[in-house]
Chain A
Amino acid sequence: MDDEPLVRWYWIGDHLGYLGDLTADHAVIALVPVLIGLLLALPLGLVCARFPRLYQPLAAVFNVVYALPSLAVFVVLIPYTGLATRATVMVPLTFYALAVLLPTTVDGLRAVPEPVRQAATAMGYGPWHRLAAVELPASVPYLVAGLRVAAVSSISLASVGALVGRGGLGYLFIDGFQRTFPTPIVAGIALIAVLALATDVVLVTARRLLAPWAVREKAVTR
């Protein structure tokens, strides 16, 4: 390590295609679970917003889920999903995403002021119509705030999957460490940061288009 520079640029130049493949794999492993998490969080959030009694125990369960160490969960799943498969990494990531998205969905649906809700009812909106035309649009800023956290965490967490044989860009960390060669590690960290930033820009743009009236989002403390 004494005379090894932090980055050997020629290595990056020689492996551009390879790095691209890893990035694509990483994006699938990290972001598909977030999408599935969102599709699960919407109906679950609706049910929870309607029946608060159900929400308390569910929130407690997901609090625990969020605390589970990713590496440990990957390992425990291996006997069922196999070593070095995408599923081993994607199943836990889906649950992590859901653990972040469920509270934000419920908060969003509850954020509609009561007078607005009553006004919608008075204008003849039924419960479903009101949900689609009032509550769901109003919860977009909350959803996006949750999605930003979930997506970035997922992108960072997915690299740990490399320890069980399937972690997209995380493989670069193991490769670089085993060969005492820092270049792939630096490249991996940089690409993960770029992927996270790109995802974040997409989400913020989506919020600007879908909810142009939203100014300040609520901070998600996770």
Chain B
Amino acid sequence: MNWLSWLSDFFGSPDRRSGPDSILNRIAEHLALSAEALFYASLLAIPLGLLIGYTGRGVTVVTAMAGATRALPTLGLVTLAVLLAGVGDTAVLLPLVALAAPPLLVAAVEGVRDTDPDVRDAARGVGMTHRQVLLGVCLPSALPALLAGLRTATVQVIATATVAAYVGLGGLGRYVIDGLATRDYAVTVGGALLVVLLAVAAQLFFALLARYALPPGVRAQRRSD
């Protein structure tokens, strides 16, 4: 296989250095779209998950629903949303939020429920209100789980945002889709490689975050996801 020549074709082309089809611009588009989707998903899923985890109400329903959303095919949602709402960020954001919300929701619920019950009781015993216990005790101890959920969601969103290019939006998927359309495999493979690199970089970023950015009290427990 002429991989090397493909990659040198792709990365060597002047189009990749400046202009709308430059690598930097496409990465920026990709990250902006992913970040927006993750922001809305977090806003929606994390508070809800914390509440559900704390009250213990509706846990089964939420877990079942989170499982069910896994079955939703993103490509189908994106194409349908574009036909219904026209080409635009909304059409792609909706499916991406639907993809990112379940892992965040499950992580928040499980994180709060895994809080040491003795610690929770002690917090109530020294006179903290429910709100103080949730925000001051359960939330910090749920942080590792939340971070793991955010990592899963981020990686999935970055990978899936590639599909956005199929309906005419930007991002790294442009290379993949345009290359397939024009049978220019150098562009397709180069774009695919960039998406892979971006996803791996996101993984690394969260691994470092989990190691260095968590409060020392919850950092010690090694979690396997």
Interface residues of A (CB under 8 A from B): 1, 6, 59, 63-64, 66-73, 75-76, 78-80, 103, 148-149, 152-153, 155-156, 159-160, 162-164, 169-170, 172-174, 176-177, 180, 182, 185-186, 188-189, 192-193, 196-197, 200, 219, 221-222
Contact check, A70 vs B70: say whether CB atoms are below 8 A apart. no
- A-contact bits for B101-131, CB 8 A (1 contact / 0 none): 0010011001000000000000000000000
How many inter-chain contacts with C-beta < 8 Å in the A-B complex? Answer: 146
B158 CB–A CB distance under 8 Å: yes
Given contacts A63-B203, A75-B188, 5 further A-B contacts (CB under 8 A): A176-B80, A177-B79, A185-B80, A189-B76, A192-B71
CB under 8 Å from chain A, chain B span 34-89:
63, 67-68, 70-77, 79-80, 82-84
Min C-beta distance of A195 to chain B, whole Å: 8
Cβ-defined partner of A173 (8 Å) among B79, B110, B224: B79
Asked whether, in the complex, the Cβ of B148 is within 8 Å of the Cβ of A71, the reply is no
A6 to chain B: closest residue by CB: B84
Q: A160-B74, A163-B180, A173-B76 are in contact. Are A75 and B189 (CB under 8 A)?
A: yes
Contact A196 B71 (CB under 8 A): yes
Segment with Cβ contacts to A, from B17-25, B194-202, B210-218: B194-202
A-binding segment of B8-16, B134-142, B160-168 = B160-168
Residue of A nearest to B161 (CB): A69
Instruction: Report B-chain residues with C-beta under 8 Å of the C-beta of A1.
Output: 83-84
Which residue of A is nearest B159, CB measured? A69
Minimum CB distance partner of B223 in chain A: A221
Using a Cβ–Cβ cut-off of 8 Å, how many residues does chain B contribute to the interface with A?
A: 52
Task: Please give me the residue from chain B that is nearest to A4 by CB atom.
Answer: B83
Residues on the B chain within 8 Å of A182, using CB: 80, 83-84
Hey, which bits of chain B sit against chain A, CB under 8 A? 1, 63, 67-68, 70-77, 79-80, 82-84, 103, 106-107, 110, 145, 148-149, 152, 155, 158-160, 162-163, 166-167, 173, 176-177, 179-180, 185, 188-189, 191-193, 195-196, 199-200, 202-203, 224-225
By Cβ-Cβ distance, the 5 closest A-B pairs, closest first, are A69-B159, A72-B192, A196-B71, A177-B79, A159-B73
Tell me whether B71 and A152 are in contact (CB under 8 A): yes
Contact of A72 among B63, B148, B193 (CB under 8 A): B193
B191: chain A residues within 8 A (beta carbon):
72, 75
Closest partner residue, chain B, to A80 (CB atom): B1
A71-B70 in contact (CB<8A): no
Given contacts A152-B67, A155-B71, A192-B76, contact A67 B163 (CB under 8 A): no
Which one of B68, B74, B83, B166 has the greatest number of beta carbons of chain A within 10 Å? B83
Chain B residues near A189 (CB-CB < 8 A)? 72-73, 76-77, 80
Instruction: Say yes or no: A221 contacts B203, CB within 8 Å.
Output: no
Please determine whether A176 and B79 come into contact, CB atoms closer than 8 angstroms: yes
A218 to B103 CA separation, bound complex (whole angstroms): 15
Chain B residues with CB below 8 A from A63, complex form: 203
Contact, CB under 8 Å: B173 / A71:
yes
A148 engages B176 (CB within 8 Å): no
A193 touches B72 (CB 8 A): yes
- Complex Cα distance A70/B73, Å? 12
Q: Would A170 and B75 be within 8 Å (CB), given that A69-B159, A69-B192, A76-B189 are in contact?
A: yes
